[in-house]
Structure 1
Amino acid sequence: MKDFYTPRALLATFFLPIGYVICSKIGFQLAFLNSQVSPVWPPEGMALTALLLLGRAAIPGIFLGAFLANYLNNPHIPTALLIGIGNTLSSSLNFYFLLRITGNKDPLYSVRGLIYFITICSISGSALSASIGVTSLLYWDFLPSEAYWNVLFTWFSGEMQGFLIVAPLLFVWLNPDEKMGVRWFKKIELMLWCLMIYISGRIAFSDELPLLFLPIPFVILTSLRFRQYGATLASVILSFTAVTQTIHGMGVFAMKRSGNLSINDSLIYLDAFLFSINGIAYFLVAVSRERERAKQDAVESLEVLNRLKEIANEELEKKVFERTKVIEAQKLEIDKQLDVAKRIQESLFPNKEINPEPFEVCFRNVPMMKVGGDLFDIHWNPDTKELGAFICDVSGHGIPAAFLSALVKMSLDFWVRSPYLLTQSIEHIRNQITPNLKDHFVTASFIHIDTNTGKIKFARAGHFPLYIIKSSGELVTINPSGRAITAYFPTNSSESFYQLSPGDLIVLLTDGLTEASIPGEIQLYGEEQLLDLITINRMRPLTEIRDIVFDIILKYSGGEEMIQDDLTLALIRFKSNQ
């Protein structure tokens, strides 16, 4: 109840009756069946607009205005009172349904809301007001019983026209939250379009020319260009023109019976026409506004997403920076540990030159990372004059391969004790490292040389054959059988023998040398090209041959940091057995 005692409610109670009476005078000018029954009732549109803008505070002013308007037209208090109650209930009921069903005061806000507005939110109130008003006129003998249904329909039609035509116009143009926001020349353009609608309407609803369709394009264009402002003005102008022309017996909707104009029948068809045209205009506006809101929502969503993206990027950069510092610290620690591991692995290789007469030995290892899976070892027994050499390549790279190569080094104890038992040494390695192999494998080769006679014995497990380059440049390949060391199959290695001649050069290598490739290409350096390189330089000192090979391979690969595998090369030359 507090809503009705506010200054706003009191002002509405004072001014609304004045506006209601003025609007009723316009409506009564069109009355024909009864002085209180009009085919268009603008006050109902004004009343609904007042409720939409002011809320329940407008109800007293609406009732007072409805009572005064009807009393001034027909000074009979009971009928004026009942009709005033009916008019007030009609606007209030439509207002309640509009808010309850659509949740929005603007009838042209959305397509869904518009559908409810032109059906439930207009028909219910119109039917209630027409029933109360016409019944009161019948009860107090202001209306003959045979005219009841005609008057009821006309009253209902007038209420509907007031809600559907006048209410949207007043709400759009009087709503303080709605601003047209166009420059003066656009307003002049709107006035010109409205003038075109009026002129085309006069032509369409005349008896001279069959041009009923003429106003339709102008209504549509005005609605599209000026949205709710153009659509509401166009609807009012066209409806006013159509109704006035029709009730004066002009136009295609002026229905005549026995030579007399049937206003009731005429309004039935006219209302259907106006409902269609105005509905099209309103739907165009509602669809356009929905699209505009959707576009605006999309832009706002994009802005929010961009902002969230910026925030996320800032947070990500911060976290990346923090994580980078942690990773750098961890990397430094790992590098330190790898340096230690590198020194440990380097200790697995021979730490001093062994050159038992009449042989000279030279080797070099370059791991792909700081540690790798290649291993080379040499064993010299001065008492028995036996020279043994071992080379292997563990699959994979880095720490796992280095760990397995260390296990291989530990399993060479049998070979050190019995350097002439080559196949047994291979099986001993397999037995020792099998529990840790899993999916890895190892290729290996053993050489046993009797330095007194120059006779060699060779066995391998999936590794390269033994290459011997003679002083003449001839290449001898010793290739006994033998599978790689795996956890699944025995090696089935066999041994081969060969008698060395003075000047013979033994070549032991791993596949990192032969599989070197140019960065970004798949062309490998290859065994043949590598052996040709060594053959060409066979007469040079072993250290020079070794350095030439590594210089060319590293350059071919794009530098030491670009190699794709561990590199190991061992050279043994038989000088003479004298």
Structure 2
Amino acid sequence: MDVPMIVARRHMLRSAGAAALKIGAVAALYYVGGELGLGQQLVRGQVTPLWPPTGIALAALLLFGPWVWPGIALGAFLINVSLGPSLPLVLAITVGNTLAALCSYWLLRRVGFRTRMNRLWDAIALICLGAFTGMLVSATVGGVVLSLADALPVGGFWPTWWVWWTGDAMGVLLVAPVLLVLSSARRPKDVPAARWAEAALLVAATICVGILETSPTPLIFLAFPLLTWAAFRFQRAGAAPCALAASIFAIYAATHRTGPFAGHTLLTAMISLQAFNGAAALTALLLSAVVTERNQTLERVEEACRRLADMAERSALDTGSLPRGVDEHGDEQGERGGGRRG
């Protein structure tokens, strides 16, 4: 065997090993996210207000490509095999979860979605296509499969479908943006001390607002001024984690029936929680996208102004470099038109 073939085979083995590691990492993250989601159910085995695996799956597809779908399928199978009553039911739900993530990925790629999410259109696409539209697949497949298997009570299809869809959509809206932010994070350089102090203050304020969300006093609305501050000052890098943190505190309050969720029925608490989570996610995504787009427009205008100023300065220098009494054609002004000399 010649040397080029050996090198090519080694390269293929390394590529296959790296792909297998990425698929395994996606499966592990999907499983861990599913366990975290199941740990915050309002009713054990029935109501999950936030399903992080959908955000993990969509972020993995956007960052690595559609070839990592086996990791999504493996993670979905592992997390559902402990819940499903039968293996065919688990396999059907696994297929629905995988297809939902792939559908969201395909829709976002069709409209030119950018993982940097530096345009308003990117935020709208993630909300309407990635979350609300793509997750219809998993909710519909799951609801139909459970109904056919007689695993739902009479009249339980639509409540189950609604809970499934909103939980999957919230996973996309709250988890995927944070993962996309982390994927593009770089070590900051030459950051002023005042900027670090403001970031630390934002973190402290987020924790304080989260604690207030779980307190007996209904102050859950304080999350929205916090999200506004994060979006205006830190754009997506600040707004996405703040929205996720605010939603986690709200889910904790709803799970333990404290704060604004105390004394309400399960249906009322679920509707209120999902309304808050949706409003927080939409506020964070849309406002940060608008501010980012505005900042980019200002930067382009300033750059255009600097270029015009440089052009004007060069033009003035070129005009002023000609000798006095000589025009741009090199003729002496006194000789033009047969004027007399001396």
Whether TM exceeds 0.5 here: the answer is yes
Q: Which of 268, 273, 290 is the aligned partner of 2:271?
A: 268
Where does residue 518 of structure 1 map in the other structure?
Answer: none
Whole-angstrom distance in 2 between the partners of 1:46 and 1:223: 22
Instruction: Report whether the alignment pairs 1:281 with 2:289.
Output: no
Q: Which of 134, 139, 143 is the aligned partner of 1:134?
A: 143
Q: Which ranges in structure 2 are unaligned for 5 or more consecutive residues?
A: 1-11
Whole-angstrom distance in 2 between the partners of 1:124 and 1:313: 58
Whole-angstrom distance in 1 between the partners of 2:34 and 2:167: 12
* Secondary structure in structure 2 of the residue aligned to 1:48: helix
Instruction: Report whether the alignment pairs 1:154 with 2:129.
Output: no
Q: Which ranges in structure 1 are unaligned for 5 or more consecutive residues?
A: 341-369, 371-578
Whole-angstrom distance in 2 between the partners of 1:185 and 1:325: 54
Tell me how far 1:147 sits from its aligned partner: 2.2
Instruction: Report whether the alignment pairs 1:163 with 2:166.
Output: no
Tell me how far 1:139 sits from its aligned partner: 2.3
Is the contact made by 2:227 and 2:283 (CA closer than 8 Å) also made in structure 1? no
Is the contact made by 1:134 and 1:152 (CA closer than 8 Å) also made in structure 2? yes
Q: Which of 223, 227, 231 is the aligned partner of 2:239?
A: 231
Where does residue 39 of structure 2 map in the other structure?
Answer: 29
Where does residue 65 of structure 1 map in the other structure?
Answer: 75
CA separation of 1:9 and 1:318: change in aligned 2, threshold 3 A: farther
Q: Which of 46, 51, 59 is the aligned partner of 2:56?
A: 46
Whole-angstrom distance in 2 between the partners of 1:36 and 1:179: 42
Between 1 and 2, higher relative CO (CA 8 Å, sep ≥ 6) is seen in 2
Q: After superposition, what is the alpha-carbon deviation per residue over 1:199-240, rounded to whole angstroms, capped at 9, x for unaligned?
A: 33333344x323333333333323333322221121111101
Tell me how far 1:307 sits from its aligned partner: 4.2
TM-score (norm 2): 0.82
Whole-angstrom distance in 2 between the partners of 1:319 and 1:56: 63
Q: CA RMSD in A?
A: 3.3
Q: After superposition, what is the alpha-carbon deviation per residue over 1:129-183, rounded to whole angstroms, capped at 9, x for unaligned?
A: 111112222323333343222211111111111011111111112225x665546
CA separation of 1:41 and 1:312: change in aligned 2, threshold 3 A: same
* Secondary structure in structure 2 of the residue aligned to 1:213: helix
Is the contact made by 1:28 and 1:36 (CA closer than 8 Å) also made in structure 2? no
Give me the identity figure in percent. 28
**Structure with more of its chain in helix, by fraction:** 2
TM-score (norm 1): 0.51
CA separation of 1:267 and 1:249: change in aligned 2, threshold 3 A: same
Where does residue 5 of structure 2 map in the other structure?
Answer: none
Whole-angstrom distance in 2 between the partners of 1:233 and 1:83: 29
Q: After superposition, what is the alpha-carbon deviation per residue over 1:50-89, rounded to whole angstroms, capped at 9, x for unaligned?
A: 1221122322222222222212444733222222222222
Tell me how far 1:294 sits from its aligned partner: 1.2
Whole-angstrom distance in 1 between the partners of 2:194 and 2:83: 42
Where does residue 8 of structure 2 map in the other structure?
Answer: none
Is the contact made by 2:217 and 2:259 (CA closer than 8 Å) also made in structure 1? no
Where does residue 293 of structure 1 map in the other structure?
Answer: 296
Where does residue 222 of structure 1 map in the other structure?
Answer: 230
Tell me how far 1:285 sits from its aligned partner: 1.6
Tell me how far 1:35 sits from its aligned partner: 2.5
Aligned residues: 328
Residue type of the alignment partner of 2:237: Y
What are the equivalent positions in structure 2 for 1:163-202 lying under 5 Å apart?
A: 163-175=172-184, 182=191, 190-202=199-211
Tell me how far 1:18 sits from its aligned partner: 0.9
| Bigger Rg, which one | 1
Q: Which of 85, 88, 93 is the aligned partner of 2:95?
A: 85
Is the contact made by 1:169 and 1:233 (CA closer than 8 Å) also made in structure 2? yes
Residue type of the alignment partner of 1:53: L
* Secondary structure in structure 2 of the residue aligned to 1:70: helix
CA separation of 1:87 and 1:173: change in aligned 2, threshold 3 A: same
* Secondary structure in structure 1 of the residue aligned to 2:28: helix
* Secondary structure in structure 2 of the residue aligned to 1:328: coil
CA separation of 1:141 and 1:325: change in aligned 2, threshold 3 A: closer
Whole-angstrom distance in 1 between the partners of 2:46 and 2:218: 34
Whole-angstrom distance in 2 between the partners of 1:191 and 1:90: 37
Is the contact made by 2:108 and 2:130 (CA closer than 8 Å) also made in structure 1? yes
Residue type of the alignment partner of 1:106: R
Where does residue 9 of structure 2 map in the other structure?
Answer: none
Where does residue 249 of structure 1 map in the other structure?
Answer: 257
Is the contact made by 1:36 and 1:70 (CA closer than 8 Å) also made in structure 2? no
What are the equivalent positions in structure 2 for 1:390-405 lying under 5 Å apart?
A: none
Instruction: Report whether the alignment pairs 1:97 with 2:107.
Output: yes
**Structure with more of its chain in strand, by fraction:** 1
Instruction: Report whether the alignment pairs 1:144 with 2:153.
Output: yes
Q: After superposition, what is the alpha-carbon deviation per residue over 1:487-545, rounded to whole angstroms, capped at 9, x for unaligned?
A: xxxxxxxxxxxxxxxxxxxxxxxxxxxxxxxxxxxxxxxxxxxxxxxxxxxxxxxxxxx
What are the equivalent positions in structure 2 for 1:317-396 lying under 5 Å apart?
A: 324=327, 326=329, 328-329=331-332, 331-332=334-335, 334-335=337-338, 338-339=339-340
* Secondary structure in structure 1 of the residue aligned to 2:105: helix
Is the contact made by 2:49 and 2:274 (CA closer than 8 Å) also made in structure 1? no
